[in-house]
């Protein structure tokens, strides 16, 4: 363990510029100190203040985490039916509940962790059977898993009485003159951050609401969204966020690399595939094709768009109409380009592989096309399926360049972990059955928040946040969405 503490350049890299604590057993989680060998160097330096905040968070999590006397006290208080008074509250928690696919979950979990950092809460994750062991523990000497006997983890929705917005409506919480909340509070609050028609509920990202939310020692949160972006709209959090992230467009990149470490089963898939198919190539291009049933783009149209994108941007070479190499015999210096196709569907791989298998390329490069799996449909309920999905997110993140499908949180996670600006396939214009521009390069590596919060509770700011916040942009693929830049 201690050899990683030596400050040689290699050691610094293994710990991702100080993001990772050196205090873990390496064998229990092989990916933790190994993933850095596969990623390209990060374009964003890690701020010393972020490192300091992470170490402070870890110490607090050890103090308050499951198995500690403080945790037992806090659960006893929770069961007593009312929130503890400020003075008695030693530890505060945010319980993260899963919804949707892996990409959505990773976005909402990073957001929840950032919220915990800003509000001195401890994150506890409800690990359901389909994701058991998918990720390693991220904090040394403690656990982020919600103990199984925790009473409040099922059945929450926008309609729940415990939801903050409903508490406001029915008067169980209210603002008082000093911006706080009068009277005794219920034992916990449910924070519903699931998008409704591409918006988050009103009263979820306003200063006065966060002052009230802050008084609950227990929060249960469910979200499908990258609401980290919305935390930047809150003046109270800005100074801390500025110090932690001098480059705003690096939030998921750093926190995702910090929090997520594939467990040994998923990592085994990554290593086998990488070493077997990708490691030997001169260059690696990732191609992620996500076709969702609600907007099922026909194969021929999508395939044509992918070809247009890759040829226009020099990502793949043209093929010649023959299988004979143009410039004579293949020399040992011939470049090999590996293309990693990641998709639930197999037809994109089949066709692309067929093309480059049969024909020579105009540049003389060899293009080798691979696809790790093709499960056909999403099966979030199946553990092995989720392990393949996670493995493929990481494999994509190890590529030198990636082409991804717009709207896909799966794709967002891969390019944000990599620190790569993708070539993002433009959503289809259904009227024309064509995308005018095949693909566009987003301005940052950050994921998009598809569902911005309504800000009407701060009337003077209920304008387009992009016009007021210098480091926000609308997303290239989701027009009303917001992303950090
Ligand atoms: P999104 O729906 O594209 O925003 O991404 P999510 O990750 O939230 O949900 C999609 C889920 O479908 C993933 O988590 C996987 O379970 C599955 N899936 C989608 N695309 C792929 C793929 O290319 N490979 C694998 N193995 N699974 C995928």
Angle CA(92)–CA(93)–CA(96) in degrees, nearest 5?
165
Q: Is 207 in the pocket of ligand 1 (CB under 6 A)?
A: no
Q: Is 304 in the pocket of ligand 1 (CB under 6 A)?
A: no
pLDDT of residue 174: 85
Q: Which two tokens stand for residue 235?
A: 């003046």
Q: Which two tokens stand for residue 261?
A: 């470490």
**Which residue stretches of the chain have pLDDT < 70?**
1-12, 86-89, 176-183, 325-332, 456, 458-462
Q: Which two tokens stand for residue 205?
A: 């990202």
Q: Is 100 in the pocket of ligand 1 (CB under 6 A)?
A: yes
pLDDT of residue 328: 55
Can you give the C-alpha Rg of the chain in angstroms? 24
Q: Please report the atom of ligand 1 found closest to the CA of residue 389.
A: 26
Cα 104 to averaged position of ligand 1 atoms, centre (Å):
9
Cα 103 to averaged position of ligand 1 atoms, centre (Å):
7
Cα 68 to averaged position of ligand 1 atoms, centre (Å):
37
- Ligand 1 pocket, mutate which of 99, 101, 407 (most atoms under 8 A from CB): 101
Q: Is 337 in the pocket of ligand 1 (CB under 6 A)?
A: no
Q: What is the DSSP string of 377-422?
A: S--TT-HHHHHHHHHHHHHHHTSSEEEEETT-HHHHHHHHHHT---
Cα 258 to averaged position of ligand 1 atoms, centre (Å):
22
How many Å apart are CA 238 and CA 368, to the nearest integer? 47
Cα 388 to averaged position of ligand 1 atoms, centre (Å):
10
Q: Is 373 in the pocket of ligand 1 (CB under 6 A)?
A: yes
Cα 102 to averaged position of ligand 1 atoms, centre (Å):
7
Q: Is 166 in the pocket of ligand 1 (CB under 6 A)?
A: no
Cα 384 to averaged position of ligand 1 atoms, centre (Å):
13
ipTM attached to this prediction: 0.99
Cα 363 to averaged position of ligand 1 atoms, centre (Å):
34
Which domains are delineated in the chain? 39-247 (no CATH), 264-319+334-484 (3.40.50.11350)
Cα 167 to averaged position of ligand 1 atoms, centre (Å):
35
- Could you give the residue ranges of the DSSP H alpha helices within 16-82? 30-38, 48-64, 69-79
How many Å apart are CA 255 and CA 114, to the nearest integer? 8
Q: Is 241 in the pocket of ligand 1 (CB under 6 A)?
A: no
Q: Is 375 in the pocket of ligand 1 (CB under 6 A)?
A: yes
How many Å apart are CA 406 and CA 305, to the nearest integer? 12
- Ligand 1 pocket, mutate which of 102, 109, 379, 394 (most atoms under 8 A from CB): 102
Nearest-CA residue for atom 26 of ligand 1: 389
Nearest-CA residue for atom 12 of ligand 1: 378
pLDDT of residue 1: 40
Q: Sign of torsion, CA 171 176 181 184?
A: negative
Q: Which residues of 62-85 are buried (b: 16+ CB within 10 A; e: fewer)?
A: bebbbebeebebbbebbeeeebbe
Question: By CB neighbour count within 10 A (0-12 exposed, 13-18 middle, 19+ buried), where does 177 fall?
Answer: exposed
Q: Are 417 and 453 in contact (CB under 8 A)?
A: no
Cα 231 to averaged position of ligand 1 atoms, centre (Å):
26
Q: Is 389 in the pocket of ligand 1 (CB under 6 A)?
A: yes
Q: Sign of torsion, CA 313 314 316 322?
A: positive
Q: Is 346 in the pocket of ligand 1 (CB under 6 A)?
A: no
Q: Is 269 in the pocket of ligand 1 (CB under 6 A)?
A: no
Nearest-CA residue for atom 8 of ligand 1: 101
Q: Are 423 and 396 in contact (CB under 8 A)?
A: no
In this predicted model, what pLDDT tens digit does every residue of 447-470 receive, in sequence order? 999 999 877 676 665 678 898 889
pLDDT of residue 178: 52
pLDDT of residue 293: 93
Nearest-CA residue for atom 17 of ligand 1: 378
Q: Is 421 in the pocket of ligand 1 (CB under 6 A)?
A: no
Q: Please report the atom of ligand 1 found closest to the CA of residue 413.
A: 7
Q: Please report the atom of ligand 1 found closest to the CA of residue 388.
A: 26
pLDDT of residue 90: 83
Cα 374 to Cα 18, 293, 298, 341, 379, distances in angstroms: 37, 16, 17, 10, 12
Nearest-CA residue for atom 25 of ligand 1: 389
- For residue 301, the surrounding DSSP H or E stretch is helix 299-312
């Amino acid at each position: 363990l201690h050899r990683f503490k030596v400050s040689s350049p290699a050691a610094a890299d293994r710990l991702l510029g100080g993001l990772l604590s050196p205090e873990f057993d390496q064998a229990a989680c092989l990916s933790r100190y190994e993933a850095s060998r596969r990623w390209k160097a990060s374009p964003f330096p890690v701020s010393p203040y972020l490192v300091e905040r992470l170490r402070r968070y870890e110490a607090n999590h050890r103090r308050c985490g499951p198995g500690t006397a403080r945790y037992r006290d806090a659960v006893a208080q929770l069961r007593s039916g009312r929130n503890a008074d400020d003075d008695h509250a030693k530890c505060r928690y945010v319980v993260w509940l899963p919804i949707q696919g892996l990409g959505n979950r990773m976005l909402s979990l990073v957001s929840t962790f950032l919220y915990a950092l800003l509000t001195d809460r401890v994150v506890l994750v409800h690990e359901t059977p389909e994701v058991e062991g998918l990720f390693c523990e991220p904090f040394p000497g403690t656990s982020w898993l919600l103990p199984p006997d925790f009473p409040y983890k099922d059945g929450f929705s926008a309609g729940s009485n415990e939801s903050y917005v409903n508490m406001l409506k029915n008067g169980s919480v209210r603002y008082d003159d000093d911006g706080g909340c009068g009277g005794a509070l219920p034992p916990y609050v449910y924070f519903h951050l699931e998008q409704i028609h591409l918006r988050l509920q009103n009263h979820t990202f306003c200063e006065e609401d966060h002052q009230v939310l802050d008084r609950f020692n227990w929060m249960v949160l469910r979200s499908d969204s990258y609401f980290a972006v919305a935390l930047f709209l809150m003046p109270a959090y800005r100074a801390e966020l500025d110090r932690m992230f001098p480059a705003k467009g690096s939030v998921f990149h750093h926190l995702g690399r910090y929090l997520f470490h594939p467990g040994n089963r998923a990592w085994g898939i990554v290593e086998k595939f990488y070493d077997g198919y990708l490691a030997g190539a001169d260059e690696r291009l990732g191609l992620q094709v996500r076709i969702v049933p609600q907007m099922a783009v026909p194969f021929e149209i999508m395939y044509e768009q992918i070809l247009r994108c890759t040829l226009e941007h020099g990502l793949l070479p043209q093929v010649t109409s023959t299988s004979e190499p143009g410039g004579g015999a293949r020399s040992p210096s011939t470049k090999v380009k590996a293309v990693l196709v990641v998709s639930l569907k197999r037809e994109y791989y089949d066709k692309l592989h067929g093309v480059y298998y049969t024909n020579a390329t105009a540049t003389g490069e060899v293009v080798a096309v691979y696809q790790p799996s093709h499960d056909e449909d999403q099966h979030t309920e199946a553990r092995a399926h989720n392990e393949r999905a996670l493995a493929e997110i990481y494999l994509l993140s190890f590529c030198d360049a990636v082409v991804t499908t717009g709207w896909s949180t799966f794709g967002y996670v891969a390019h944000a972990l990599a620190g790569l600006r993708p070539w993002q396939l433009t959503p289809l214009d259904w009227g024309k059955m064509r995308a005018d521009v095949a693909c566009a390069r987003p301005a940052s590596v950050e994921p998009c928040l598809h569902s911005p919060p309504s800000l009407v509770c701060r009337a003077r700011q209920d304008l387009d946040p992009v016009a007021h916040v210098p480091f926000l942009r609308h997303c290239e693929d989701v027009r009303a969405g917001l992303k950090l830049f």
